[in-house]
């Protein structure tokens, strides 16, 4: 019983830290983007997430703030197939982005399990592949 309570408390602490980081990112992005010279054109911004649901679990406040002033691009590095439900998670991500952004977003989901395996151990990821993929994506979308 004590082990269960210990794990529950640990998970609550992890959840609190992740939320704190998300809100800090929101305020930093708000400050940084708000301090730039204002013009009428929307700039492209990119949210890079490891797998589906990260966009709403951790970054929803930042996303909601940015979507009015910037064109959002979402790059998801895996399709969330760790438990064998990748196709379902892909649909959920598309619906989540539609709910958060409406139709004014660009969603790209990568499904390269030999290079980026959806697994808690990110040591299994091909880091050079990830780096090149992200750099290319940012360049192609003028981010």
pLDDT at 140: 94
pLDDT at 124: 77
- pLDDT per residue of the chain (143 residues) written in tens, 0 to 9: 777 777 677 766 767 667 667 766 776 666 666 655 555 567 888 888 888 888 887 888 887 787 778 888 999 999 989 889 999 999 999 998 888 888 778 999 998 888 888 887 777 788 899 999 999 999 999 98
pTM for this model (two decimals):
0.69
pLDDT at 12: 67
Q: How far is CA 121 from the centre of its chain?
A: 18
pLDDT at 137: 94
23, 61 in Cβ contact below 8 A? yes
75 bridge partner residues? 48, 108
Long-range residue pairs from 91-100, CB within 8 A, at least 24 positions apart, any chain: 92/52, 92/53, 93/52, 93/53, 93/55, 96/52, 96/53, 96/55, 96/56, 97/55, 100/55, 100/56, 100/60, 100/63, 100/64, 100/67
pLDDT at 133: 93
């Amino acid at each position: 019983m004590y082990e269960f309570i210990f794990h529950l408390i640990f998970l609550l602490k992890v959840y609190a830290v992740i939320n704190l980081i998300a809100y800090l990112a929101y305020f930093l992005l708000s400050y940084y983007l708000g301090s730039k010279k204002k013009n009428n054109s929307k700039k492209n911004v990119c949210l890079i997430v490891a797998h589906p649901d990260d966009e709403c679990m951790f970054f929803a406040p930042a996303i909601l703030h940015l979507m009015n002033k910037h064109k959002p691009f979402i790059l998801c590095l895996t399709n969330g197939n760790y438990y064998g439900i990748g196709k379902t998670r892909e649909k959920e991500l598309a619906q989540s982005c539609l709910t958060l952004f409406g139709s004014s977003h660009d969603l790209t989901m990568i499904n390269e399990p030999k290079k980026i395996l959806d697994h808690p151990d990110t040591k299994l990821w091909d880091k050079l592949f990830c780096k090149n993929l992200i750099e290319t994506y940012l360049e192609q979308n003028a981010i």
